[in-house]
């Protein structure tokens, strides 16, 4: 049974998101089609899909909402994963290539870089070990973790008050932030209790996911100085370990409340926005001539909706950050079309906010 549960977790937390990430990678430049980019793209697509399916189900159903959401999400995610794998395989026969790691590339790294990467890996493994064996609990668990458990046991979504156990009207404030339901879904697929998924399993995925985003940001910031990237990653990992100067810092949320939406918003969604814009406007005089920009803009649009899986506020933050960075780069590039593309990428955010306002009335 334990082996089957582990296999199920690998399928739903690694294989399916990776295959889904192959879809946006098709529209990106070859140098960006790395395993890390494909993986973080896959989670962006997966969270977007979960919001697209989950929000209508939450609003329209009172009973059997969780089972309906699970069935729709299983079919949709498998279809997207299969499409990603099939299209990539077909295009590879026509010269399409992924930027995969190889032993020859590893040999090109200097000894100092290898040592620094090893130190960084040890720090991350230590953080994952501590997150897995020293699970932290706080008052929010009485709501977030219980909502996932209620979804599983009562087959309803945000229609029962976790504090009393009684039926209640739709909890509009939290109903559109579906990360507890996603954790309950992973628990349902693997046969593991949702609380265990949240406290013990989620950190094993969300911690590496966060550092993959930071690694991509480091590649953009230190372009031409690749030897600085492992040092940058060590510094970021140490910041996370010693950033508990307040209960409100993103470092505190990453290591003590990894499974909560606020942690996903601060450590995945917001850094992803920065990475996308750094990728769009790196080292070029005329950005519109660069092939592969469509993939980034589509990813940004998905991200602005995927932010809703963490919290409703994250949708506003990602949209405002998109608008601010777009204005900055539109002025830099002297191109109004930047604002047009940024505006189109914020349409999912606008739809999310409008839906929130309607159901809150």
Tokens of 258: 């990894």
Instruction: Report pLDDT for 104.
Output: 55
Let me know if 259 is exposed, middle or buried by CB neighbors in 10 A (0-12, 13-18, 19+).
Answer: buried
Let me know if 2 is exposed, middle or buried by CB neighbors in 10 A (0-12, 13-18, 19+).
Answer: exposed
Instruction: Report pLDDT for 181.
Output: 94
Q: Answer yes or no: is pLDDT of 290 > 60.
A: no
Instruction: Report pLDDT for 162.
Output: 85
For residue 285, name the pLDDT band (cuts at 50, 70, 90): very low
Q: Answer yes or no: is pLDDT of 284 > 60.
A: no
Instruction: Report pLDDT for 292.
Output: 57
Average pLDDT over residues 235-251: 89
Mean pLDDT, all residues of the chain = 88
Q: Angle CA(307)–CA(10)–CA(190) in degrees, nearest 5?
A: 85
Spatial CB neighbours of 183, under 8 Å, sequence gap ≥ 6:
148, 194, 197, 198, 202, 259
Instruction: Report pLDDT for 17.
Output: 95
Instruction: Report pLDDT for 287.
Output: 45
For residue 81, name the pLDDT band (cuts at 50, 70, 90): very high
Spatial CB neighbours of 139, under 8 Å, sequence gap ≥ 6:
none
Q: What is the pLDDT of residues 13-24, one digit of tens each?
A: 999 999 999 999
Window from 82-91, 163-172, 262-271 with minimum mean pLDDT = 163-172
Q: Answer yes or no: is pLDDT of 323 > 70.
A: yes
Instruction: Report pLDDT for 170.
Output: 85
Q: Answer yes or no: is pLDDT of 114 > 60.
A: yes
Instruction: Report pLDDT for 318.
Output: 93
Instruction: Report pLDDT for 183.
Output: 93
């Amino acid at each position: 049974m334990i082996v089957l549960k582990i296999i199920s977790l690998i399928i739903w937390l690694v294989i399916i998101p990776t295959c889904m990430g192959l879809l946006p990678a098709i529209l990106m430049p070859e140098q960006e089609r790395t395993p890390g980019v494909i993986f973080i793209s896959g989670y962006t697509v997966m969270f977007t899909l979960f919001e697209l399916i989950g929000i209508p189900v939450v609003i329209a159903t009172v009973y059997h909402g969780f089972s309906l959401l699970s069935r729709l999400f299983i079919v949709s995610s498998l279809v997207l994963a299969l499409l990603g794998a099939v299209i990539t395989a077909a295009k590879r026969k026509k010269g399409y290539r992924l930027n995969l790691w190889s032993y020859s590339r590893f040999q090109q790294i200097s000894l100092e870089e290898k040592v620094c990467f090893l130190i960084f890996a040890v720090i991350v493994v230590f953080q994952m070990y501590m997150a897995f064996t020293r699970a932290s609990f706080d008052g929010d668990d009485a709501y977030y973790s219980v909502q996932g458990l209620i979804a599983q046991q009562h087959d309803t979504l945000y229609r029962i008050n976790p504090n009393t156990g009684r039926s209640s009207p739709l909890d509009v404030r939290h109903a559109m932030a579906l990360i507890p339901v996603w954790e309950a879904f992973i628990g349902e697929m693997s046969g593991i209790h949702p609380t265990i998924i949240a406290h013990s399993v989620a950190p094993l995925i969300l911690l590496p996911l966060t550092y993959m985003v930071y690694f991509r940001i480091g590649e953009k910031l230190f372009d031409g100085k690749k030897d600085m990237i492992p040092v940058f990653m060590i510094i970021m990992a140490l910041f996370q370990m010693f950033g508990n100067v307040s209960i409100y810092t993103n470092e505190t949320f990453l290591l003590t409340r990894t499974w909560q939406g606020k942690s996903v918003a601060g450590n995945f969604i917001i850094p992803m926005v920065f990475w996308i814009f750094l990728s769009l406007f790196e080292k070029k005089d005329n950005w519109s001539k660069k092939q592969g920009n469509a993939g980034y803009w589509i990813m940004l649009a998905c991200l602005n909706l995927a932010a809703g899986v963490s919290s409703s506020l994250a949708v506003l933050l990602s949209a405002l950050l998109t608008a601010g960075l777009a204005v900055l780069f539109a002025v830099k590039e002297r191109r109004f079309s930047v604002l047009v593309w940024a505006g189109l990428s914020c349409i999912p955010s606008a739809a999310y906010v409008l839906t929130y306002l309607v159901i809150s009335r």
